Amino acid sequence: MDLRYSESDEKFRAELRAWLREAVASHGSPPPHHDWPARHAYDTGWQRKLYDAGYAGIHWPREYGGRDASPTEQLVYYEEIARANAPYVGINFVGLLHGGPTLIVEGTPEQKRRHVPYILRGEQTWCQGFSEPEAGSDLASLRARAERDGDDYVVNGHKMWTSYAQVADYCELLVRTDPDAPKHKGITWLIMPMDLPGIEIRPLKTIAGEGEFSELFLENVRIPVENRVGAENDGWRVTNVTLRFERGAAFASEMYQLREHLAEIKAVAGRVTRHDATAWDDAALRREVGHLQAELDALWAMVKLSVSEASETGVPGVGSAAVKLFYTELAQRISDVAMRVLGRAGLSRSDVAELPNGRFLEKMLMSLNLTIAAGTSQIQRNIISERILGLPRHR
């Protein structure tokens, strides 16, 4: 139970911090959300900078160009990225956090050669075509159909909620190859190039008013058989590899970022007025902010505990469902406080009265998807009660 970082970790931190100071300043501020070409350039450009400096694929094996950082160094990395307010993975998130890692574990040598180095350099972006209108939490009930025709699979189906589809070069696509087998046994994992004929992308307008995710309509899309990852009908196993990466340390940087957000909320509360005092003069608000900070500190300690466990086992601790559940609900509670501090200024999504409304509201709206994406809170509770606590299955 020792929280002291080693000398080599501190050295890593100092170097990274110095590099970030310069790199973040020279990269400029992020483009507006609706400007997709600019976002693509901004996020992939940042990835290239990381690559050139030796910080790309912090958790990737060295033989694939990654840094193979120890779990503790990864933690330092997430802390520093958040502290420097540096861009995080952005539109590269699927490729970097789970697409690439899945190929490293499950892909053929040829698949690795064609994708892995490009993902790392920010030259290939990926999206995830898992969910469908009828297959969300119950992902294994997916229906998109793939039929073998010579050296191709011919795919027909409808995918939902595909984040960043409009800027992706490739898609992690789940299809049904055996409709007669039990639902977990007839699924196949394919690499779909997004420029194939027959793919139609229809952006969906989110709560935030943006087209962050899309529907994909697939009509007779011919995907070469060589793009299959793992065996035919063995896609559910591969999917679990992908999901394990997705649910790993992916949130760490955003978690740490919340601390900065809370500090900023406090600063704003000291500036907004309520009658003849400031919002921060309200003891009830101060107590609530203190309570949230206590929970954030414990959350980060929880991450440290699971990172320490991962140092031995190599996989994120069983606690990750608990971390996800706690973090996502905490983020929403913090956003609630931000809104109450803004008061009427919260009616505007653009900054007014020299307040950071724009960013605060953005965060608040985004926080609402945290408890839905990557396994809803209810699904996390099911996982905890059945797999960790051993309660009888309810079905």
Q: Which of 117, 102, 258, 121 is nearest to 191 (CA)?
A: 102
Pairing of strands 152-163, 213-224: antiparallel
Question: Do the Cβ atoms of 91 and 39 come closer than 8 Å?
Answer: yes
φ and ψ at residue 305, rounded to 5 degrees: -65, -45
Q: Does 380 bind other proteins (CB under 8 A)?
A: yes
Position among 161, 236, 326, 327 found at the interface with ligand FAD (CB under 6 A): 161
Residue range at the interface with other proteins (CB under 8 A); choices 29-37, 95-103, 162-170, 381-389: 381-389
Please tell me what DSSP assigns to residue 89. S
Distance in Å, CB of 123 to ligand FAD, minimum: 20
For ligand FAD, which stretch binds (CB under 6 A), given 125-133, 196-204, 327-335, 337-345?
125-133
According to the binding rule CB under 8 A, does residue 277 interact with other proteins? no
Q: Smallest distance, Å, CB 309 to ligand FAD? A: 26
Q: Nearer to other proteins by C-beta: 33 or 304?
A: 304
Q: 279 with 344: CB under 8 angstroms?
A: no
Residues in contact with ligand FAD, shown as a per-residue x/- string from 126 to 155 under the rule CB under 6 A: -xxxxx----xx------------------
d(CA 323, CA 62): 28
List the one residue from 14, 181, 315, 388 that touches other proteins (CB under 8 A). Answer: 388
> Residue 162 binds which one of other proteins, ligand FAD, none, with CB within 5 to 8 A depending on kind?
ligand FAD
Cα maximum dimension of the chain: 77
Cβ-in-10-Å burial (0-12, 13-18, 19+) of 16 comes to buried
Check 80, 212, 246, 295 and give the catalytic one: 246
Q: Which does 389 bind (CB under 5 to 8 A by kind): ligand FAD, other proteins, none?
A: other proteins
**138 makes contact with other proteins (CB under 8 A):** no
Q: Which two tokens stand for residue 158?
A: 């409808």
Q: How far is the CB of 5 from other proteins (least distance, A)?
A: 5
Q: Is residue 8 within the footprint of other proteins (CB under 8 A)?
A: no
Q: Are 119 and 92 in contact (CB under 8 A)?
A: yes
Alpha-carbon Rg for the chain, nearest whole angstrom, is 22
Q: 96 phi and psi, to 5 degrees?
A: -75, -40
Start-to-end Cα distance in the chain:
40
Token pair, residue 48, equals: 């290239």
Q: Which stretch binds other proteins (CB under 8 A): 44-52, 191-199, 261-269, 359-367?
A: 261-269
Number of amino acids touching ligand FAD (CB under 6 A) = 18
Q: Is 215 or 282 the residue whose CB approaches ligand FAD more closely?
A: 215
How is residue 123 written in tokens?
A: 């030259």
307 SS3 class: helix
Quick one: angle between helices 71-83 and 252-269, nearest 10? 30
**Is 246 in the active site?**
yes
Window contacting ligand FAD (CB under 6 A); options: 39-47, 175-183, 353-361, 372-380: 372-380
Extract the tokens encoding 26: 């020279």
Residue 189 interacting with ligand FAD (CB under 6 A): no
Piece in contact with ligand FAD (CB under 6 A), picked from 54-62, 118-126, 254-262, 365-373:
365-373
CA gap 217, 8 in Å, rounded: 50
Burial class for 314, CB neighbours closer than 10 Å (0-12, 13-18, 19+)? exposed
Q: In the stretch 324-363, what mask flags binding to other proteins with x, by CB under 8 A?
A: -xx-------------------------------------
Positions that interact with ligand FAD (CB under 6 A): 127-131, 136-137, 161-163, 213, 369, 372-373, 376, 378-379, 382
Q: Which residues are marked as active site?
A: 246
Positions that interact with other proteins (CB under 8 A): 1-6, 9, 72, 75, 83, 259-260, 262-264, 266-267, 283, 286-291, 293-295, 297-299, 301-302, 304-305, 307-309, 311-312, 319, 322, 325-326, 378, 380-382, 384-386, 388-394
